[in-house]
Chain A
Amino acid sequence: MTMFLGCAHQDENVVRIGAAGPMTGDQSKMGMDLKNATELAVAEWNEKGGVLGKKIILVAGDDQADPKQAVSIANKFINQKVVALVGHWNSSCSIPASKYYDDANIVMISPATTNPQLTQQGFKHVFRVCGTDDQQGRAAADFVLKKLHPRRVAIIHDKTAYGQGLADFFKKALGNKVELVYYGGIIQRDPDYKAVLTAIKENKPDIYFFGGIYPEAGRLVRQAKEVGLDIPMITGDGVYDPTFISIAGPAAEGTFITFGKEPSGLATAQSFMKNYKAAYGNPGPYSIYAYDAANIILTAIAQTGTTDGTKIADYISKTTFHGAFSDISFDKNGDVTKAPYVIWVVQKGKFVEVQ
């Protein structure tokens, strides 16, 4: 009891910022990327004297990619009077936890949750700095319609919320402009996709879309070549991983992927890249998003001169921020106004941006 009281009587000379994500278990790398990037931003601000003349303290919450844990982290953050947080990672965690943060006037910025539902709940305090699956599906469909001009399209997905969601948004964005000749799911972890690929081949599409993650995508393109299905695959950010190319080998060539720009080439990202590498090694694909999210929060606190979540959220929703990755401004839902997606293609065993 005394310990609990001790916690409740924390001195008010600090500002608490949360970082929440899966920091143990299967996806721990993702959660640690998020925490490290937030930590880096906080350390940089503290070096300059903190915010509002107070020291910034990072509070980490490990949700283990489990929705129940995510809610208990939310309650923990509320008790600890966290002003704002960077997180969560998974759609299945961000969505249930967001309600608690919104009720408690805590600003939440997710660096990686792409499921559109997160920002469609009417919550004033909830933002994200990454794109959404419907923006991504639209980006893929735009590219396909403008550059590849297919007449017949096949779509497959891995039956997960992410994969099927993305496939459905792609399908919706295509509309009636092409003929959909095949739509179906595959089983994750199933080693053999030749049956479904042969069925797709029979329908003679010009391209096929896959909503899912790199291990399945790698096997799909590899086996597609083996059954003589020689058409390009279009797929999403879940496939942007070097492992995809090593699984698929030469069969990966010509696969199109929607993903953000590569930060290493951006002038604004150089100092982030250098400092992150020095402290934690190579940044993950979403580290820079978490870093920008943390900076947005701290900038908003500094500019509004308050730790009142509602005022901070108000400021965030009206301002354009110059992040390390890109300039970020939010629409009325809390989504980024400019989806950061570009098209990548696999060429000679490397991801190359399509100009």
Chain B
Amino acid sequence: MFTQQLINGLALGAVYALIALGYTMVYGILQLINFAHGEVYMLGAYLGIIILGVLTYLGLTAYSLPLSLLVTVLGSMAFCAAYGAAIERIAYRPLRNATKLAPLISAVGMSIILQNVVMLSQGKEYKNLPPMLPSEGFTIFGANISPVQIFILIASILLMIVLHLFVAKTRLGKAMRATSQDRVMAGLVGINVNQVISITFMIGSALAAVAGVMVTLYYGVVHFFMGYLAGIKAFTAAVLGGIGSIPGAMLGGFVLGLIENFCASYISSVYKDAFAFAVLIITLIIRPSGLLGQKSVDKV
């Protein structure tokens, strides 16, 4: 049972980690909690169902499943990236120099709008996707690893490595780090700050889209409300890891997934969500800067 819970927890954690990255990157640059981020993830999940539906209709899934999954993931990423950038342009950029609370309220408003747009256009009912991958996988130490879980773990770890290399090695990554350290100075030395911020939103949203498609494949059910809880959980993961820190978000996601799974199975499944949020409260009390976060000097 321990191995099985470990695998379940890691797969769930990988999803949280991917969403948490979007929170943490935006926070790192703008000190803004983008509460509409959970909705971008929800959008990614809906797009996953829609694109897979179209591909099945066209016969591509029957022809090559890996290829159609790739097309789905890329399609959803592209759409959500555009969405993320648009959200930033419409809801946050005009408020960038307003009081700190204004963009936060704008974010909550954006989240409500996106939820309702999806509810009105896609309906209140659960949308579902029949299983695309077989449920029987490999058995390791008495635990069953399904192909979807393998897909989730490999894809998310790969994306995290790519993201890490991007931020650490490329010119644009350097510009992002500079912007997060000091936006004004970065602008003075010739970095196009608006562009960097847009790209940050796009990357974060694209990662959330991958998480959305994965969850669609994993659970087979999407709902216009799904982004709310997942968003808060991912936010918890980001805080747990240290908000603003990219490795922190990854670690926080996995740790939260594991805690949730072990508490649900060994203590009580009814209080699964309560355990996740207890983690948030305990982190904020004991170590507000998170596992990997650094104590920041308040700039204001």
Contact = CB atoms under 8 A, between A and B. Distances in A.
A202 interface: yes
Interface size class of A (residues with CB under 8 A): 20 to 34
Given A26-B124, A191-B226, A201 B12 contact: no
B106 interface: no
A18 B95 CA distance: 55
Interface residues of B, number: 42
Contacts of A227: 4, 8, 144
B219 A198 contact: no
Contacts of A192: 8, 12, 219
Interface string B193-217: 0000000000000000000000100
A225 B268 CA distance: 21
A78 interface: no
A243 B131 CA distance: 13
Nearest to B135: A225
A151 B126 CA distance: 36
B261 A246 contact: no
A16 to B, nearest CB: 33
A199 interface: yes
B270 A185 contact: yes
Contacts of B269: 184-187, 193, 195-196, 199
B221 A196 contact: no
B260 interface: yes
Nearest to B125: A243
Interface in A172-218: 184-187, 189-196, 198-199, 201-202, 215, 218
Interface in B129-161: 130-131, 135-137, 139, 143-144, 146, 148-149
Contacts of A218: 128, 220-221
Contact of B128 (A186, A225, A247, A250): A247
B259 to A, nearest CB: 11
A94 B273 CA distance: 32
Contact of A198 (B5, B221, B230): B5
A124 interface: no
B225 interface: yes
Nearest to A250: B131
Contacts of B1: 198-199, 201-202
A223 B135 CA distance: 8
B264 A222 contact: no
A159, A185, A218, A227, most chain B CB atoms within 10 A: A227
Contacts of A185: 269-270
A218 to B, nearest CB: 7
Contact of B273 (A187, A215, A226): A187
Interface of B: 1, 4-5, 8-9, 12, 124-126, 128, 130-131, 135-137, 139, 143-144, 146, 148-149, 215, 218-221, 223, 225-226, 229-230, 260-262, 264-266, 268-270, 272-273
Interface of A: 26, 159, 184-187, 189-196, 198-199, 201-202, 215, 218-219, 222-223, 225-228, 243, 246-251
25 contacts: A185-B269, A186-B269, A186-B270, A187-B273, A189-B226, A189-B229, A190-B229, A191-B221, A194-B12, A195-B5, A196-B264, A196-B265, A198-B1, A198-B8, A199-B1, A199-B265, A218-B128, A218-B220, A222-B131, A226-B148, A226-B149, A246-B128, A247-B128, A249-B220, A250-B135
